Structure 1
Amino acid sequence: MISLAELQRRIDAGDLSADAAIAQSLEATSAHEKSIGAFVCRDESLRAQSAGPLRGIAVGIKDIMDTAEFPTEMGSPIYRGFRSRGDAAVVMMLKQAGASIVGKTTTTAFASIDPTPTLNPHNHGHTPGGSSSGSAAAVAAGMIPLALGTQTGGSVIRPASFCGVAAIKPSYRLLPTVGVKCYSWTLDTVGLFAAGVDDVARGLSAMTGRPELLLPPDIPTPRIGVVTQDFAGAPDASGGEALRIATRAVEKAGASARALDLPEIFAEAWRAQPIVQEFEAHRALAWEYREHYAQMAPLLRAKLDESRNTPPVAYDEAIKTANRARQALEELFDEVDMLLTLSAPGAAPRGLGSTGDARYNRLWTLMGVPCVNVPAHIADGDLPVGVQIIARYGADAAALAAARFVEDALRRQ
């Protein structure tokens, strides 16, 4: 993989020009794209910008985000060839930080569940996950050092786990969703993929202009609560092993790690998340569903068919449940600094018939809290499995620091 941090160090030291860094990404993309299929379209004559902390950094943009230079097709024939007049807010944030947009990465239709043709770079017989399939795969394959995705259920953290890259789903609305196709306005969150936690932190800091998101020289030893989310069902063997490995590693590194039993309100919120998601999806996709029903992706269409009669009162109750759970989570973080839990049930499923299960992600998306994936284990078939580090709402810097602590502890295993 290409380290954003290493590129920045070399460019700042004068050992590598920004244009040469971009050329490296273009060369790597040309070498791997035919076998992975991570991009919908790309600029093969891309040049570096002259200034900014992300100069020389080629970035892939999930194809539900508006870009003036590229079509925004949202994984659907309904929008084939569609071009917006301008860039999404997050795309402009990248450009203002000096990044160069290399192209649009594949997404499931409207960031839902119908798989893309993208292959997992570690094992082509397995899914890269979704809905941010191309972004995770492009970083994992070493094509680009940074990519944007979105998460409504588990669409950043889960593909990061399957592809063996670091990723952050930041606190809700740290990154704006203006110009990003909406699925659920309560849940949609823009996230980042990169090779390691330091790379993710640097990308997020540069985009937002928040230096406090950069990792400190000394990482404090966190108090860790280990959460298995029993209400979400048992993990696969590889998922359980990843969590065990990470727990042993942080304990060996000197952290206290104790099992936490989540109160019942979290199980209620977990059950409420799909109600919120699909009720809002019917409003966000009302035009497509009504005017282009036959062109809707089949799994998404079936999901919308199934949930079309959800009454507003059920949605209102789900929102109330979410609010109660968020309050309970704030109180839980008085006991621990971070939560350590599963990023996915296990390694990436075989075949391209599914993008995997978001059951270990959806609660935390509903809570709006920052989540970071750290690769923890290699399962059979050379398939990565990650663990998820979670901090309280707004504590993105703390989440990144804790994730770096876990990453370092795993490296020392």
Structure 2
Amino acid sequence: MISLADIQQRIEQGALSPDGAIAQALEAIRVQDGTIGAFVRHDQRARAQDSGPLRGIAVGIKDIIDTADFPTEMGAAIYRGHQPRADAPVVMALRNAGATIIGKTTTTAFAANDPTATRNPHNHSHTPGGSSSGSAAAVAAGMVPLALGTQTGGSVIRPASFCGVAAIKPSYRLLPTVGVKCFSWTLDTVGLFASGVRDVARGLAAMTGRPALVVPAHIAAPRIGVVTQDFAGAPEPSGAEALQRAARAAEQAGASVRTLAMPEMVAEAWRIHPVVQDFEAHQSFAWEYGRNHDAMPPLLRGRLDQSRGGTPLDYDAAIAVAARARLALAAVFDEVDVLLTLSAPGAAPEGLSSTGDPRYNRLWTLMGVPCVNVTALTAAGGLPVGVTVIAPFGADARALAAAAFVEDALRA
């Protein structure tokens, strides 16, 4: 993988030019992407910008995010050749920070269920996860040091776990979703992938203008609450081992670690996440589903067919549950600084017909809290397995610092 921080340091020292860094990314794409299939398209003539903290940093953009100089096709035949007139604000934020938008990365159709042909760089017979398949795979394969994805259920954290990269699903609306194909306006969140937690933090800090997000040189040992999410079912052995290993490493490094049970209201929020997601999806895809039903990607079409019975009454009740659950979760953070939980049931499933199960991610997306994936172990077949560090809403700097603490402890 390519470290964003390392590229920045080499550029500052004069050991690497910004254009040289972009050229390295283009060469890596040329060599790797024929096998991995992480990019829908890329600009072979891309050059570095003249200034900005992210100059020389090549960035892949998930193909549901609007770009003025690349089509945005959303992984769906309905939008083949669709060319936005403007960049989404998150893309402009990257450009304004000096980054080079090198191309569009693959997405499951409409960031939903229908998978891409993208392969896991660690084991090509396994999925990279989804829906941000290409962004996670591009970073994991060392093609780019930074990539944008989105999460509505588990579409940033789960592929980050499967591909062995760091990622953040920030606090809800820290990054704007204007110019991003909407699935569920209550849930959709733009996130970032990079090789390590400090790299993710640098990228997020630069594009938001928030230097406090950069991980400090000294990190105080956090108070960690381990959450197994029993209401979501038992994990696979590799998932359970990853969580145990991360908790043990953090404790040995000086963190206070204890197991926490979630309030019943929080567990209830996990159960109603699909109600919110599907009800809003029917409105978000009203044109596609209503006017182009037969051209819709089949798994998403079937999902919408099955959820047509959702009522405004059901939805309003679910939104009320979510609001109460957010208050209950906020009270949990009176006892600990961060939570540590599963990023996925286990390692990436074999085959490309499924992107895996988001059941350990969806609660935190509904709660709107910042989540950071940290790679915790390598399972059979060379497949990574991650864990998630979670902080209170708005405490993204805390989440990143604690995740860096856990990452360091695991590497010690």
Aligned to 1:338: 338
1:75 maps to a residue whose letter is: G
Q: Identity, % of aligned pairs?
A: 72
Aligned to 1:199: 199
Q: Distance in 1 between matches of 2:291 and 2:68?
A: 25
Q: Distance in 1 between matches of 2:92 and 2:263?
A: 41
Write the mapping of 1:14-413 to structure 2, written as runs, cut at 5 A: 14-412=14-412
Q: Please state how far the C-alpha of 1:13 moved relative to its aligned partner.
A: 1.3
Q: Secondary structure at the match of 1:73?
A: coil
2:200 maps to a residue whose letter is: V
1:193 maps to a residue whose letter is: F
For the aligned residue pairs, the C-alpha RMSD in angstroms reads: 0.4
Q: Secondary structure at the match of 2:381?
A: coil
CA deviation vs aligned residue, 1:295-341 (integer Å, no higher than 9, x gap): 11111011100111101000000000000000011100000000000
Q: Distance in 1 between matches of 2:399 and 2:228?
A: 18
CA deviation vs aligned residue, 1:218-255 (integer Å, no higher than 9, x gap): 00110000000000000001000000110110111011
Q: Distance in 1 between matches of 2:252 and 2:178?
A: 43
Q: Distance in 2 between matches of 1:267 and 1:224?
A: 19
Q: Please state how far the C-alpha of 1:186 moved relative to its aligned partner.
A: 0.2
Q: Distance in 2 between matches of 1:113 and 1:371?
A: 22
Q: Please state how far the C-alpha of 1:256 moved relative to its aligned partner.
A: 1.1
Q: Distance in 2 between matches of 1:229 and 1:17?
A: 47
Q: Secondary structure at the match of 2:103?
A: strand
Q: Secondary structure at the match of 1:150?
A: strand
Q: Please state how far the C-alpha of 1:15 moved relative to its aligned partner.
A: 1.2
Q: Please state how far the C-alpha of 1:294 moved relative to its aligned partner.
A: 0.8
1:318 maps to a residue whose letter is: A
Q: Distance in 2 between matches of 1:208 and 1:261?
A: 34
Structure 1 runs of 4+ with >2 Å offset: none
CA deviation vs aligned residue, 1:159-187 (integer Å, no higher than 9, x gap): 00000000000000000001000000000
Q: Distance in 2 between matches of 1:410 and 1:292?
A: 49
1:167 maps to a residue whose letter is: A
Q: Please state how far the C-alpha of 1:393 moved relative to its aligned partner.
A: 0.1
Q: Distance in 1 between matches of 2:246 and 2:261?
A: 18
Q: Secondary structure at the match of 1:250?
A: helix
Q: Distance in 1 between matches of 2:25 and 2:364?
A: 33
Gaps of 5+ in 2: none
**TM-score normalised by L of structure 2:** 1.00
Q: Distance in 1 between matches of 2:89 and 2:113?
A: 25
Q: Please state how far the C-alpha of 1:57 moved relative to its aligned partner.
A: 0.3
CA deviation vs aligned residue, 1:360-392 (integer Å, no higher than 9, x gap): 000000000000000001000000000000000
2:291 maps to a residue whose letter is: E
